[in-house]
Amino acid sequence: MDSSNGLLHVKTKKTILACTAAMIIILPVYLFYCLACCCETLQEPVLHEVGAEAKLYDHAQRLSAEPGQLTEPPQERQIPQPHHLKHHHHYITWSTWDSQGTDEMPGMQNAVAQEHSEVDAPLYVRNGDPAEPGGTLNEASGGISERGRTQAASPFNASNTFSGFGQRRLPEAIIIGVKKGGTRALLEFIRVHPDVRAVGAEPHFFDRNYDKGFEWYRNLMPRTLEGQLTMEKTPSYFVTPEVPARIHAMSAHTKLIVVVRDPVTRAISDYTQTLSKAPRLPAFEDLAFRNHSIGLVDSGWSAVRIGLYAKHLEHWLRHFPQQQLLFVSGERLVTDPARELARVQDFLGLKRIISDKHFYFNQTKGFPCLKKPEGSSLPHCLGKSKGRRHPAINARYIQQLREFYKPFNLKFYQMTGQDFGWE
């Protein structure tokens, strides 16, 4: 018994030693293999073509997405990443992004420091890979719809390939403005559509980062499957004179969406945002008027200047035909989001999927919110920097500003063929 036990003991020891030796040899080889970018193919399903498999995979991703909470950011959907990327990419979730208090891409904080920059939480942005969760199959749509959209002829639209997760493409549709118009609401609403994928943060490519080149820009985009539309929003594009020609150089077919809002309310909203970061800011009327006793408006102040929509639109119409621009009413986006979203879906050539059913009015927030935002199954409202309480402005100044904007508004109605009812 003893000798057989001893023999067993020796055999066990030998086995353990052999296993340890094998591990010592195999582990580095495996690690090297991972570093050489191949682990993913071992760990994740490989989708060789964009077809039924890809759709099912994406659908499964959506179903497994972690839920968010009311007025809280949903969790970032975990898109499988190559092992080495997991180590080198700094993942930024909604909450870390929110705490940065900006719509801008990480590393753009200097740019953010510019006057009136945005302070709210976009969704799910990851540094170096600001792709969003979603882009999934929607039962209601019966799959990815045929939209017959025009792929830009530009060589910049050539996209990289990456097995399984679609391709990064330059945006085919951009929300170009206007600041404080309701651009975040529109982006979050439209991205609920299964055929839309969007960058959460504002890339500011065409105004501040143009020198970084189209490859940089394209790499910010989420991966899309065939038939899905890539979008971004940067509200400052609308008022930057160089931008129309630059977007045209990327693709003459780019679809442009402008969310417009009563320029007086927009100016106050803009001022409110700045005030939230600089509480010692002079009074609104001191900035809006050169001389408020005689009602002389200071059109050099950006909060006023941005509202001269007709002026800015002239730049765009030199490069794009009217039909390539859609003007969304910021007011109706609040009172009747489904109606505006129907217009947006038609304009983008998308099947009408987003409807009344997707929204509910949140009494506490005072705004429409999504019942099921992209990548989440729980209701969600925009963050606290959207829908701020505005300071009370003397009715006399409001009236003077209305008078100031009136001819510009009428011109804008004429140019767009739409009456926004701001008078």
Ligand X SMILES: Nc1ncnc2c1ncn2[C@@H]1O[C@H](COP(=O)(O)OS(=O)(=O)O)[C@@H](OP(=O)(O)O)[C@H]1O
* Interatomic CA distance for residues 235 and 258, integer angstroms: 8
Minimum distance from CB of 181 to ligand X (Å)? Answer: 5
Binding-site members for 3'-phosphoadenylyl sulfate are 180-184, 261, 269, 386-390
180 flagged as catalytic: yes
Cα–Cα distance measured from residue 238 to residue 258, given in angstroms and rounded to the nearest whole number: 8
Q: Which residue ranges make up the annotated binding site?
A: 180-184, 261, 269, 386-390
| In the complex, minimum distance from the CB of residue 108 to ligand X, in angstroms, rounded to a whole number | 14
Residue with tokens 């080149």: 213
Judged by CB, which is closer to ligand X: 147, or 388?
388
Is the distance from CB of 255 to CB of 176 less than 8 angstroms?
A: no
Torsion over CA of 262, 266, 267 and 271, rounded to 10 degrees? 160
Q: How far is the CB of 134 from ligand X (least distance, A)?
A: 18
Nearer to ligand X, 272 or 416 (CB): 272
CB of 20 to ligand X, least distance (A): 58
- Do 110 and 191 contact (CB within 8 A), yes or no? no
Given the rule CB under 6 A, which residues bind ligand X? 103, 118, 179-185, 235, 269, 272, 333-334, 367-368, 382, 386-388
Give 347 or 367: the residue with its C-beta nearer to ligand X. 367
DSSP state at residue 307 = T
Helix (H) or strand (E) holding 396, with range, is helix 395-416
Which position among 55, 180, 233, 255 bears the catalytic label?
180
Q: Which is nearer to ligand X, 221 or 306 (CB)?
A: 306
Burial 170-200 (b: 16+ CB within 10 A, else e): bbbbbbbbbbbbbbbbbbbbbbbbbbbbbbb
Q: Residue 201 in contact with residue 103, Cβ under 8 Å?
A: yes
Q: How far apart, in Å, do the first and last CA atoms of the chain sit?
A: 102
Instruction: Using alpha carbons, select from 307, 258, 273, 232 the residue that is nearest to residue 115.
Output: 273
- Nearer to ligand X by Cβ, of 252 and 393: the residue is 393
CB of 351 to ligand X, least distance (A): 23
Reduced to 3 states (helix: H, G, I; strand: E, B; else coil), residue 164 is coil
Q: Could you tell me which residues are beta bridge partners of residue 258? A: 177, 327
Question: What amino acid positions are annotated as catalytic residues?
Answer: 180
